[in-house]
């Protein structure tokens, strides 16, 4: 649905790599170009109209995001350049000063590099224990599995709401409750869920939440770190510079601004943030629930079709969501992706930055189709037809 809002989809591509990044609707592109064409200026430091306008748009996005995830206050919304940036601020700005040797942090093997490598690096440095909650037989992460890993030493649980490979939706509401009951900090990587399903940071007891603008129809280089105010206040910035300080002198004295500016050093991605505001408006104009329901039914259709194609191994056949992870027998994932590319079909092949997952699924590399609401049944019919003609993969070799 709403395919007409995306000029790029008129170029004939069958775009099925939405977990990597999403297309941008006209309204987002317009918001960004309007800023560049009509009122380019810096924020927080101008006394002239264009700067005042940029300032206003920039801060309006913050309020839109606050409302979108139901944070308590605007100060809890920090602009970042993406999920990776947000999670690294959590790990190296907060956890580095919070965790002690002997503490335990729970993650799992399906996590993206950005929610695993920072933890691995910090755990080596500090000596806390990184615990991997086992995935079930369908490679999903259940509340039970996490519950079984909790000990009196558990300080943090850090998981993806939805992973970018198996694509299962974790029950963050009940995991959040567990965290609250056991005095555990709950960190959620919402990169894959923010554009597809509702998140309520208060209802779900989330302490830190990170996501990227580019996976929610917004510009690249934008992202959000949400944190409960009392926690964000304890973060030691990993970047110092302009805008975030109140004063400093050659004697070495300095003081920093209040939240959120304290954590936003230097000139920010103003155009991107304004575009992100337009992306939120766009999602709201359709309605997240409507998007969610449509995507679930489209995914169901895709899965049913794919299950009927011979010689295809699907790794997540029981998962509801937007992702189908698969391999075509005898063919390396990348050969399949290159074949589909010749038909103008965009999918992803590889390990999808989740390099620990192969320890569980036993295959290093897979093909991934990931959907968005602007995909249609015709898009799916096209890729299904192409995969039925898998003998043609050979033709692309020479």
Ligand X SMILES: Cc1ncc(COP(=O)(O)O)c(C=O)c1O
Q: CB within 8 A of 210, min separation 6: which ones?
A: 80, 83, 85, 86, 87, 90, 187, 188, 189, 190, 191, 223, 224, 225, 226
Rounded to an integer, what distance in angstroms lies between the CA atom of residue 314 and that of residue 186?
31
From the list ligand X, another protein, none, which binds 205 (C-beta under 5 to 8 Å, kind-based)? none
SS3 category, 113:
helix
Could you tell me which residues come within 8 angstroms of residue 85 by beta carbon, excluding any fewer than 6 positions away?
A: 210, 223, 225
Nearest distance from C-beta of residue 343 to another protein, angstroms: 15
d(CA 237, CA 348): 35
Confirm or reject binding of residue 21 to another protein (CB under 8 A): no
Site for another protein in 307-346 (CB under 8 A): 330-335, 338
- Pick the stretch among 42-50, 189-197, 280-288, 390-398 that binds another protein (CB under 8 A): 390-398
What is the closest distance, in whole angstroms, from the C-beta atom of residue 153 to another protein in the complex? 37
The only residue of 27, 350, 353, 388 in contact with another protein, by rule CB under 8 A:
350
Which of another protein, ligand X, none does 191 bind, CB closer than 5 to 8 A by kind?
ligand X
Q: How far is CA 375 from CA 10, 15, 227, 290, 378, in A?
A: 12, 8, 33, 14, 8
Interface positions with ligand X (CB under 6 A)? 19, 82-84, 112, 114-115, 160, 163-164, 189, 191-192, 212, 353
Whether the CB-CB separation of 246 and 60 falls below 8 Å is answered with no
- Would you call 149 a catalytic residue per the annotation? no
Q: Given candidates 202, 300, 320, 364, which one binds another protein under the rule CB under 8 A? A: 364
Catalytic member of 179, 346, 353, 367: 353
Q: Which is nearer to another protein, 136 or 395 (CB)?
A: 395
The answer to the question of residue 397 lying near another protein (CB under 8 A) is yes
Interface residue with another protein, options 28, 178, 349, 361 (CB under 8 A) = 349
- Residue 394, class by beta-carbon neighbours within 10 Å (0-12 exposed, 13-18 middle, 19+ buried)? exposed
**Pairing status of strand 323-328 against strand 312-314:** antiparallel
Q: Are strands 77-80 and 223-227 parallel, antiparallel or unpaired?
A: antiparallel
Residue 351 binding partner per list another protein, ligand X, none, with a CB distance cut-off of 5 to 8 Å that depends on partner kind = another protein
Per rule CB under 8 A, is residue 73 in the interface with another protein?
A: no
Half-sphere exposure of 19 (CA within 13 A, CB side): 26
Contact partner at residue 230 from ligand X, another protein, none, CB < 5 to 8 Å by partner kind: none
123 binds, among another protein, ligand X, none (CB under 5 to 8 A by kind): none
- For ligand X, the closer CB: 87 or 336: 87
- Closest contact distance (angstroms) between CB of 360 and another protein is 17
Nearest residue to 82 via CA among 106, 115, 41, 105 = 115
- What does 346 bind: ligand X, another protein, none (CB cut-off 5 to 8 Å by kind)? none
Of 383, 355, 368, 388, give the one whose Cα is nearest residue 321: 368
For CA atoms 97, 103, 105, 109, the dihedral sign is: positive
So which residues are the catalytic ones? 353
Binding site for another protein (CB under 8 A): 330-335, 338, 349-351, 364-365, 394-398
């Amino acid at each position: 649905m709403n395919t007409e809002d995306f000029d790029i989809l008129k170029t004939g591509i069958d775009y099925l790599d939405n977990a990597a990044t999403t297309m941008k609707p006209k309204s987002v592109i317009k918001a960004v170009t309007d800023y560049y064409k009509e009122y380019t200026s810096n924020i927080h430091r101008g006394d002239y109209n264009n700067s005042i306008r940029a300032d206003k748009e920039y801060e309006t996005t913050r309020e839109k995001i606050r409302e979108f995830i139901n944070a308590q206050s605007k100060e809890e919304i920090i602009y970042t350049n993406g999920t990776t940036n947000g999670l690294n601020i959590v790990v190296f700005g907060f956890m580095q000063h919070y965790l002690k040797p002997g503490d335990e942090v729970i993650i799992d093997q399906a996590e993206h590099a950005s929610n695993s490598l920072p933890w691995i690096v910090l755990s080596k440095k500090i000596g806390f224990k990184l615990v991997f909650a086992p995935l079930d037989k369908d490679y999903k992460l259940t509340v039970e599995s996490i519950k079984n890993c909790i000990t009196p030493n558990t300080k943090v649980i850090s998981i993806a709401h939805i992973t970018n490979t198996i694509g299962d939706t974790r029950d963050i509401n009940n995991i959040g409750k567990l965290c609250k009951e056991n005095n555990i900090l709950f960190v959620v990587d919402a990169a894959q869920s923010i554009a597809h399903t509702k998140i309520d940071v208060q209802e779900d007891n989330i302490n830190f939440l990170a996501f990227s603008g580019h996976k929610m129809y917004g510009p690249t280089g934008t992202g959000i770190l949400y944190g409960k105010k009392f926690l964000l206040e304890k973060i030691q910035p990993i970047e110092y510079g302009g805008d975030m300080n109140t004063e400093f002198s050659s004697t070495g004295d300095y003081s920093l601004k209040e939240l959120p500016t304290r954590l936003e050093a230097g000139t920010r991605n103003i155009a991107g943030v304004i575009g992100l505001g337009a992306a939120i408006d766009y999602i709201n104009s359709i309605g997240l629930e409507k998007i969610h329901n449509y995507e679930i039914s489209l995914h169901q259709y895709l899965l049913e079709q794919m299950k009927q194609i011979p010689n295809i191994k699907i790794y997540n056949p029981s998962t509801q969501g937007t992702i189908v992870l698969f391999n075509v027998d005898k063919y390396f994932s990348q050969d399949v992706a290159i074949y589909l590319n010749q038909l103008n079909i965009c999918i992803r092949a590889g390990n999808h930055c989740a390099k620990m997952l192969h320890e569980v699924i036993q295959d290093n590399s897979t093909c991934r189709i990931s959907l968005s609401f602007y995909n249609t049944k015709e898009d799916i019919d096209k890729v299904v037809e192409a995969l039925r003609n898998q003998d043609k993969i050979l033709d692309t070799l020479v």
